[in-house]
Chains A and B, each alone.
Chain A
Amino acid sequence: MKKTFPIFGILTAILLSCALYQALVVAPTEQTMGEVQRIFYYHVTSAWTAFILFTINFVASLVYLIRRNPAADMVALVSAEVGIVFCTIVLVTGPIWARPVWGIWWTWDMRLTSTLVLWLIYVSYLVLRRFSSSGETPLLAATLAIFGALCVPFVYFSIWFFRTQHPQPVIGGGGSIDPRMMHVLLINWLAFSCFAFLICWSRYRLEKLQREVEQAQAMESLTQSSRSPR
């Protein structure tokens, strides 16, 4: 574990630099949008990474509800935190891209709105974790994660039916993409996934250590108070 982490970190750094070069230099310039389209490689990969992390959160919460496994709870917490970061990147790069291309910072179209609602749901999950002073916070948080995951299809359907203004999705949709751009996109996605995994791993270790320290402190105060009765 102690050697793997730095090695993996160095590999990820190399992969990220390579992906950056690909995105900014190698990838062909888009016809209508120009250079600003390159933000697409960060916008879309962040979105995919965020969705994967939120799915991991759902599965981990389900495992925790069924098995009460503390490792599952830590995975749920970590994936929610890092997922929110990536979702924030999507919501920030979106307007930055939209402003020169569409002329507006924000619009209530399907994909932006549903990403915002997803972000809100998971931020409320984190708020519950931070503010809850119950001893069973992980259980309550896992329940909320299940509710959030149940809500996601409703969010997508309701907003889809409400309005659609976003350009057609380039993957699995009506839009088409230059194969060279797809190649760069996938490299960037690989780099971002490795980076996300690295951050999650690091955060997981931090959380595990924090819990061990808290438990040790609790045990120590217990034994101290039992040794010196008043």
Chain B
Amino acid sequence: MSAPTGITRATLLKDLRLEWRSKDAINSMLFFSLLVVVVFSFSFDPNAEESRRIAGGLIWVAILFAAVVALNQTWAREIRNQVLDAYRVSPAPANSLFLAKAIGNFIFVSVLEALMTPLFVVFYQLRPLGPVWQLLIVAALGTWALVVNGTFFAAMSLRTRSREIMLPLLLFPISIPALLGMVQATTNILTGEGARVWIALLLSYDLVFTTACLILFETVLNAE
């Protein structure tokens, strides 16, 4: 196994192991997700026909807020233990660290989605009229779009004055095309219309921004 892949794998497994043992973030996140779903269900109380048209937007807004809370604690452990200084001094490529963090966040947010989606289906009586496997592709691409930029911007906000609010302030504007794509793709699949263009948009967005993050992360890591 080449060195960068090995480092990515090691860092990812370390994060997952730490999270599994302490479970501090996952428990609060799960409860937060449940609360968000319930609050949305009170606020928007549609019948089955309307719900198919708005549920796509509601699910993704709920996932977006849950993802922001998850992303905010991405680097918390690293800051507390001066890990970033050690990483800068080591010959390890910065990309490996970024990729490990991004994949870890992706797994984390996917777990949250896996729990929130059945609740939405139940509360909104959702039955998709389009193919369900496309929903999985949209979920994966959309989550990656949020997570890759979120991990990058979380690293950029490390030394800003209001760190927790800075991440959504930076993330939301840049994510608008991806959000539009996710919501429209989900809505179209639920109502049985075509979602191919939106999926293509999400895929190209993911490719462009993953490349940009990988190229520029070293600069950001050394700039803190």
Contact = CB atoms under 8 A, between A and B. Distances in A.
Interface in A127-171: 127-128, 131-134, 136, 139-140, 143-144, 146-148, 150-151, 154-155, 157-159, 161-162
Interface stretch (B46-54, B82-90, B115-123, B208-216): B208-216
B197 interface: yes
Contact of B224 (A136, A144, A150, A157): A136
Contacts of A123: 173
B180 A159 contact: yes
B36 interface: no
A65 interface: yes
A120 B176 CA distance: 10
Given A147-B212, A150-B208, A155 B177 contact: yes
The 3 closest A-B pairs by CB, nearest first: A136-B223, A154-B177, A134-B159
Contacts of B223: 134, 136, 139-140
A159 B208 CA distance: 18
B170 A143 contact: no
A158 B201 contact: yes
Interface string B154-170: 00111111100010011
B180 A133 contact: no
B170 A154 contact: no
A147 B201 CA distance: 17
Contacts of A146: 212, 216
A37 interface: no
A124 interface: yes
B174 interface: yes
A187 to B, nearest CB: 34
Given A146-B212, A150-B212, A158-B201, A133 B170 contact: no
A121 interface: yes
A20 interface: no
Contacts of B178: 154
A117 interface: yes
Interface of A: 65, 117, 120-121, 123-124, 127-128, 131-134, 136, 139-140, 143-144, 146-148, 150-151, 154-155, 157-159, 161-162
A147 B162 contact: no
Given A133-B160, A150-B209, A151-B177, A144 B170 contact: yes
A131 B180 CA distance: 28
B173 A131 contact: no
Contact of A131 (B162, B172, B184, B208): B162
Contacts of A131: 160-162, 166
Contacts of A128: 156-157, 160, 166, 170
B201 A134 contact: no
Nearest to A155: B177
A180 to B, nearest CB: 38
B104 interface: no
Given A136-B223, A140-B223, A127 B208 contact: no
Given A131-B160, A150-B209, A154-B201, A124 B177 contact: no
B72 to A, nearest CB: 15
A133 B162 CA distance: 10
B177 A140 contact: no
A147 B184 contact: no
Contacts of A148: 173-174
B150 interface: no
Contact of B201 (A132, A139, A140, A157): A157
B85 to A, nearest CB: 14
Contacts of A155: 176-177
Contact of A127 (B159, B169, B176, B204): B169
Given A154-B201, A155-B176, 14 more contacts: A123-B173, A127-B169, A128-B157, A132-B159, A132-B160, A132-B161, A136-B224, A140-B220, A143-B220, A147-B149, A147-B209, A151-B174, A154-B178, A157-B177
